[in-house]
Amino acid sequence: MLFGTEEYKERIQRTKERMAQNGIEVLLITDPANMNYLSGYDGWSFYVHQMLLIIDDEEQPIWIGRGQDANGAKVTTWLFHDNIIPYPDDYVQSETKHPMDFVSDILKQIGQDRRAIGIEMDNYYFTAKCCEQLKKGLLNASFIDATSLVNWVRIIKSDKEIQYMKRAAAIVERAMMEGIGLINEGVRECDVAAKIFHTQITGTEEFGGDYPAIMPLLPSGEKTSTPHLTWTDERYKKGETVILELSGCYRRYHSPLARTVNIGKPSIEFQTLSDVVVEGINACLDMIKPGIACEEIEEAWRRTIEKSGIVKESRLGYSMGLNYPPDWGEHTASIRKGDKTILQPNMTFHLIPGIWLDRYGFEVSESFRVTESGCETFASIPRQLFIKEDTLISN
């Protein structure tokens, strides 16, 4: 287990407080990060339906999942084995049986089928079918949308969580410098990605890395006009720009980071774009402190870059930390216009002011925690456009 039982119990307590505020008596948690946060459960089993039940007057959660994953729950959680309930394998990806029917039956058996039930309506792992089957199976229950309820409980990190994110940052620093070092004319994109992966997972001598919730994003050339492409097995060409957005991950905790490399001298307009964005991110990092609202960071960014004529319509960043694929973002606070979340110490964000134009783009980012008086970035790598002057063919 990654945290002491007391920390898990305290998290459950804070979850129950939010449940009470929302009139929820039983909470069904399907978000794997939320399951992990409250129980310790870890495993690549979220591709089948599984959940954690939190009942208002029970101390321990109940884990329900596929039979073959029950031993995984015994190994990774603080739950009594009696609270680990496996469903038979013929419920898996079947056209005739659905795991939510099993869940409904359990709720009936334990007398929890006439209660106010919270469900994570907009979570990847709670499909439309899950909702439909549960409602069919639990005619006497009422349902309340509990999307992001536990995510909001997660928003302020404990010191141990911050320590894990610092370890993730030590890993991403190495992976980023490895990637920047290798990118050059004639090198295959996949060979750079492979070395980055190697560094992400081998970690340091002291601790190893976990798989990040998002694979390395490595668009090159015109593909830098969009942020979410990965890599190919093509070779980099002279003059191309390459964006790297990667995360270190330690025990499911992330520290993402983005930088941009130019193979050879950049055009004046590209250098100007990168200077503007770097000035903008620096202005943000300078003004971040407890007590301000997320939207104020966006305002500082906008005021700083205004004179350049560059406009960024997409959000500037988001809360993050513990997560599983497909996203390291926490789905709580966003750094954008209208977000009035007030910063507090040990909130953690990925600030990523990417600009994607029609033919090229530029990204530079920092993951940071809010401190007592300002903020501190997790990683420490120069905030600049990296230029590979020496474009010899390497293979």
Decide: 66 and 48 in contact? Cβ < 8 Å.
yes
Residues 62-91 touching its own copies, rule: CB under 8 A, are 67-72, 75-76, 88-90
Question: One symbol per residue from 256 to 285: x for binding its own copies (CB under 8 A), - otherwise; what is it?
Answer: ------------------------------
Residues 329-368 touching its own copies, rule: CB under 8 A, are 329, 331, 334, 336-338, 354, 356, 358
Give the HSE-up count for residue 157: Cα atoms under 13 Å, Cβ half-sphere. 23
The reply on whether position 311 binds its own copies by CB under 8 A is: no
Of how many residues is the chain composed? Answer: 395
Residue from 233, 268, 291, 311 in contact with its own copies (CB under 8 A): 233
User: Could you tell me which stretch among 178-186, 192-200, 267-275, 292-300 binds its own copies (CB under 8 A)?
Assistant: 192-200
User: Could you tell me which stretch among 153-161, 281-289, 312-320, 369-377 binds its own copies (CB under 8 A)?
Assistant: 312-320
Residues 373-392 touching its own copies, rule: CB under 8 A, are none
Supply 119's token pair.
């469900």
Decide: 189 and 220 in contact? Cβ < 8 Å.
yes
User: Could you tell me which stretch among 104-112, 202-210, 282-290, 373-381 binds its own copies (CB under 8 A)?
Assistant: 202-210
The reply on whether position 197 binds its own copies by CB under 8 A is: yes
Burial class (CB in 10 A: 0-12, 13-18, 19+), 307: exposed
The reply on whether position 203 binds its own copies by CB under 8 A is: yes
Count, residues near its own copies per rule CB under 8 A: 87
Q: How many C-beta atoms lie closer than 10 Å to residue 387's C-beta?
A: 15
Q: What does the alpha-carbon distance between residue 201 and residue 341 come to, in Å, rounded to a whole number?
A: 34
Give the HSE-up count for residue 25: Cα atoms under 13 Å, Cβ half-sphere. 11
**In the complex, minimum distance from the CB of residue 189 to its own copies, in angstroms, rounded to a whole number:** 7
Decide: 171 and 249 in contact? Cβ < 8 Å.
yes
**Do you find a cis peptide bond into 266, omega within 30 degrees of 0?**
no
**In the complex, minimum distance from the CB of residue 125 to its own copies, in angstroms, rounded to a whole number:** 6
The answer for residues whose C-beta is within 8 angstroms of residue 285's C-beta and 6 or more apart is 351, 366, 368, 375, 377
The reply on whether position 26 binds its own copies by CB under 8 A is: no
**In the complex, minimum distance from the CB of residue 1 to its own copies, in angstroms, rounded to a whole number:** 12
Q: Which strands form 253-263's sheet, in the order they lie side by side? A: 241-250, 253-263, 385-388
The reply on whether position 3 binds its own copies by CB under 8 A is: no
Q: What does the alpha-carbon distance between residue 161 and residue 325 come to, in Å, rounded to a whole number?
A: 19
SS3 61: coil
Q: Closest CB to its own copies among 12 and 118? A: 118
**In the complex, minimum distance from the CB of residue 292 to its own copies, in angstroms, rounded to a whole number:** 20
Give 313-355 as a DSSP string: -S--EEEE-B--TT--EEEEEEESTT--PBP-TTBEEEE---E
Q: Closest CB to its own copies among 12 and 219? A: 219
User: Could you tell me which stretch among 207-215, 253-261, 280-288, 383-391 binds its own copies (CB under 8 A)?
Assistant: 207-215
Q: Closest CB to its own copies among 143 and 292? A: 143
Q: Closest CB to its own copies among 71 and 371? A: 71
Which amino acid is present at 242? V
User: Could you tell me which stretch among 51-59, 144-152, 256-264, 290-298 binds its own copies (CB under 8 A)?
Assistant: 144-152
The reply on whether position 132 binds its own copies by CB under 8 A is: yes
Q: Closest CB to its own copies among 60 and 220? A: 220
Residues 31-60 touching its own copies, rule: CB under 8 A, are 42-47
